[in-house]
Amino acid sequence: MKNFLTTAWVLCLITVTTAQNYFISFAGTGASSNVDSVLVENLSQCTNMTINGSDILNLTTTVGIEDFNNVYEGSVQVYPNPSASDFSIEFDVAMDERISIVLYEVTGKTILQTLFFMHKGHHVFSIKGLSTGFYPLQIVSAHCIYTAKLISNGSKSCIPEISHSGQLNRIDLPKKNKHHNKAIISMLFNAGDTLKLTGKSGQFRTVKMLFPTQDDAVTFDFTVCTDADSNHYAVVQIGNQLWMQENLKTTHYRDGSPIPNVTDSATWGSLSSGAYCNYHNDTTEGNYYGRLYNFYAVADTRNICPAGWHVTSNPEWNILEKFLDPTVDTSASAWMGRGTIIGRILKESCNTRWAYLDTTWGLNSAGFSALCANFRNNTGAWSLAPNNDHDDAFWTSTPYSVNTAWGLSLRWCFSDIYVMPLINMKSGSSVRCIKD
C-alpha cells in the first residue's frame, strides 16, 4: 500500500506541474453585483458545465488529478476568508496516507508546496505570510482531492508558510466563522477554443464570449430585459449594441393587451392586424424557439418589446452585419444573400437544427445564438422544413411599402445572411429586440 500511495502521489505531482491552466473568475455589475451561477459552454468541443458564480474556472489541457478514481467526497473549509493574516484550513483524510498541499498564484505559479503523512480524521492547518491577492489551493492524495481559494488583503508580505495545527473530533469543530469555500472547477480546453459564458443573477442573464489566452476576470453587466409575460431574457453586447440573446416570446403587448394567437392558416393569411403563432402551433416550439409574429404586431404602437427595448430597425441590423463581417454589403440595393461568414457567426452551434453542412452550420462566435426557428408565410403555410431544420427569419421594424417590410433570414445550407425588403407583412417571423 505504501508503494502504491507513493506512486500515485508522484503521478499526481507530475500531472499538476505539467498542465497548462488559465484561471477565470467572475463578477457582476449593473442591475446586480452578485453572480449566482455561470453556464460555461465550450463551443469548439461542444461541452458545457454550470458552476457557482463565486467559483474559479480552471481551463486546463488535461483533467490532471481529477482523473483518479475513488476520489474522497468531502469538503474543505477556509476561515476567515478573506483574511489579513492567518488562514485556517480544515479537511477530512479518508485513511492514513500522504497529503500534498499546494498553493498557487493566480497565474498558476506554485508558491508553496509541502507533503505530510496524515492519519485518518479531520485536520486543521494554518497558512500565513500571504501578500494581497488571490491564491488557488489544492490538497491531493491518492483518495482525496480538495480545491479552494484564499483571498488575502494583508498589507505585508513575507515568506508563505504552512503548518499543521492539529486533528479535531467532529464535536470539536468551530461553530463560528466557518464556511464552505468556493471550488476551483476544471474544464478541458485547447488553445483557440471559443467559450460562451452565461452569467445568472436572480432573473438576470448576460452572455459573454471568451477566447482565452491568459488568466482573466469576466464581469457580467446585468440588465433588465423582461417582457409583459414576465419572461426574462439573456442579453449580449455586440460592438456598441446590446441585444436580446433570445427570440421574443411574449403573448402580450407592453401595456398588457393580448396579442391574438392565430392558428388557422386561412385566418392568418387574411389578417391586417397584429397576431402571433407558435411554429406548427406547437407551444413547446414557441417556448424554446420564440413566437412568430406578423409585421402588424411588430409595428403596433403598444410595443411588443420589453420596456427600454425596441424591435431592431434595418439600419441597426446593418450595423451588426458590418461589425461581424466586413464583407457584407449593406447598401439598400444589396438584396438577397450577402456576406461570406456572417451566417455562421450568428447561428447557434453544437447539436442544433443547423447541423447539416460543416461549412455552413453555426460558430456562434458573437454569442447571438440564432436558432433555426423557421417561419410562416403570408398565406399561413409553414416553411418547408420536414424535420424543422430549414431556415429562420427575423423582422426589422423598417417598412418598405404599404404591404412589405425589411426582413432577413439565416439559411441551413448557406453561410451568408439573406436580406429582403419585400417581406409580406402578413408573414410570421422571429423578433429580436435591442436596447433603446
Mean pLDDT throughout 294-313? 98
Q: Which helix (H) or strand (E) holds 285?
A: helix 283-289
pLDDT tens column, 203-216: 999 999 999 998 89
Q: How far is CA 215 from the centre of its chain?
A: 17
Residue 309 pLDDT more than 80? yes
Three-state DSSP class for residue 22? strand
> What percent of the chain lies above the pLDDT cut of 70?
86
pLDDT tens column, 22-32: 889 999 999 99
- State the pLDDT confidence band at 84, using cuts at 50, 70 and 90: confident
Q: How much is the pTM? A: 0.72
181 class by beta-carbon count within 10 Å (0-12 exposed, 13-18 middle, 19+ buried): buried
Nearest CA to 236 out of 248, 226, 225 is that of 225
CA 27, CA 45: separation in Å to the nearest integer?
A: 25
- State the pLDDT confidence band at 379, using cuts at 50, 70 and 90: very high
pLDDT tens column, 175-222: 433 334 456 788 889 999 999 999 999 999 999 999 999 889 999 999
**CA distances to 35, 135, 177, 196, 199 from 218, in Å:** 11, 17, 28, 12, 10
pLDDT tens column, 94-103: 788 888 898 8
- State the pLDDT confidence band at 131, using cuts at 50, 70 and 90: confident
Q: Which pLDDT score is estimated for 15?
A: 36
Q: Which of 138-142, 302-306, 342-346 has the lowest mean pLDDT?
A: 138-142
Residues 6+ apart with CB under 8 A from 46: 349, 350, 351
Confirm if 258 and 250 have CB atoms less than 8 A apart. Answer: no
Highest mean pLDDT among 15-24, 157-166, 200-209, 374-383: 200-209
pLDDT tens column, 45-60: 999 999 999 888 888 8
Q: Which own/partner pairs from 365-368 qualify as long-range (CB within 8 Å, at least 24 positions apart)?
A: 365/43, 365/194, 365/209, 366/209, 366/236, 366/238, 366/324, 367/196, 367/207, 367/208, 367/209, 367/236, 367/238, 367/245, 368/236, 368/238, 368/243, 368/245
Output the CA torsion sign for 42, 45, 46, 52: negative
Q: Which of 3-7, 236-240, 246-250, 290-294 has the lowest mean pLDDT?
A: 3-7
pLDDT tens column, 381-436: 998 765 554 688 999 999 999 999 999 999 888 899 999 999 999 999 999 999 99
Ordered structural domains, the chain, with CATH = 2-18+68-187 (2.60.40), 223-435 (no CATH)
What are the helix (H) ranges across 19-143? none
Q: Which pLDDT score is estimated for 177?
A: 37
Say which amino acid occupies 304. I
User: Strand pairing partners for 146?
Assistant: 139
Cβ count within 10 A of residue 315: 12
pLDDT tens column, 236-286: 999 999 999 999 999 999 999 999 999 999 999 999 999 999 999 999 999
Q: Which pLDDT score is estimated for 181?
A: 47
